[in-house]
């Protein structure tokens, strides 16, 4: 199993440009999520999905869209990038929501710089 | 929602035991406490998880007092390879009520 994969590893955008961060997992996990990681602030949840066709907002959803058409993929879209979205983005997955104590498996991250 | 507080950084030497405490005063009844380890340019990796009392696995122990308002990650006999950032996560059911602490940067010196 490759686990959780993310592409690209690094991206530079200009303000106002759009792009999609890709995330895929091959573990048949129901739950997937996106976090951003900023210095001194830990990881903050952007959006999450409990299964194909179901998404919901996390702590910091503004400026980001998601969709979940398949179990494997959970792309994150920036429609109009802003410098405040400069961050490292992590995708994560876990088996299900049935148990409160499920652990999450994280991808390697995408480093995004918005100029 | 639980407010999570961790020390920003800690230093230790090889072979010592390291204890990192996380404060979560507003922890809810259903919340679990999970610790992750993160190396530079990598995603966080699960270390240990618990609900109350003590949990031990092959790499760490987690101590949670009866009031559950704090937790302590204990790393026995650290080595240089344990140098990383350690995150405390409090929450349940993988929903948007989960919160990470800001992380503790542990530096292990020879």
Average pLDDT over residues A95-111: 80
Query: Which residues on A lie below 8 Å from B101 (Cβ)?
Result: 42
pLDDT for res A40: 80
What are the mean pLDDT values of chain B's consecutive 10-residue runs (110 residues total)?
87 97 91 93 93 93 96 96 96 74 96
- The string of pLDDT tens digits covering residues A77-90 is 999 999 999 999 99
Local structure of residue A84 (DSSP, 8 states): G
Query: Which residues on B lie below 8 Å from A97 (Cβ)?
Result: 93-95
Tell me how far the alpha carbon of residue B27 is from its chain's centroid: 15
Taking an 8 Å cut-off on Cβ atoms, the answer to whether A43 and B100 are in contact is yes
Q: Of A90, A65, A89, A93, whose CA–CA distance to A78 is shortest?
A: A65
Residue A8 has pLDDT above 90, yes or no: yes
Q: A50 vs B60, which has greater pLDDT?
A: B60
């Amino acid at each position: 199993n490759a686990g959780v994969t993310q592409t690209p590893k690094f991206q530079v955008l200009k303000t106002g440009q759009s792009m999609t961060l890709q995330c895929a997992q091959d573990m048949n996990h129901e739950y997937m999520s996106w976090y951003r990681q900023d210095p001194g602030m830990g990881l903050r949840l952007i959006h999450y999905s409990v299964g194909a066709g179901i998404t919901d907002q996390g702590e910091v959803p503004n400026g980001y869209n998601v969709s979940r058409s398949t179990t494997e993929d959970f792309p994150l879209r920036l429609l109009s990038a802003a410098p405040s979205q400069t961050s490292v983005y992590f995708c994560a997955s876990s088996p299900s929501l049935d148990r409160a104590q499920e652990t999450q498996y994280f991808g390697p991250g995408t480093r995004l710089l918005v100029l | 929602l639980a407010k999570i507080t961790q020390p920003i950084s800690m230093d230790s030497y090889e072979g010592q035991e390291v204890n990192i405490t996380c404060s979560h005063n507003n922890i809810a009844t259903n919340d679990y406490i999970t610790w992750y380890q993160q190396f530079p340019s990598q995603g966080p990796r699960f270390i240990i998880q618990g609900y109350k009392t003590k949990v031990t696995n092959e790499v760490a122990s987690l101590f949670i007092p009866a009031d559950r308002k704090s937790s302590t990650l204990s790393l026995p006999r650290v080595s240089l390879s344990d140098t990383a950032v350690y995150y405390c996560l409090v929450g349940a059911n993988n929903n948007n009520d989960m919160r990470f602490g800001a992380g503790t940067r542990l530096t292990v010196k020879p």
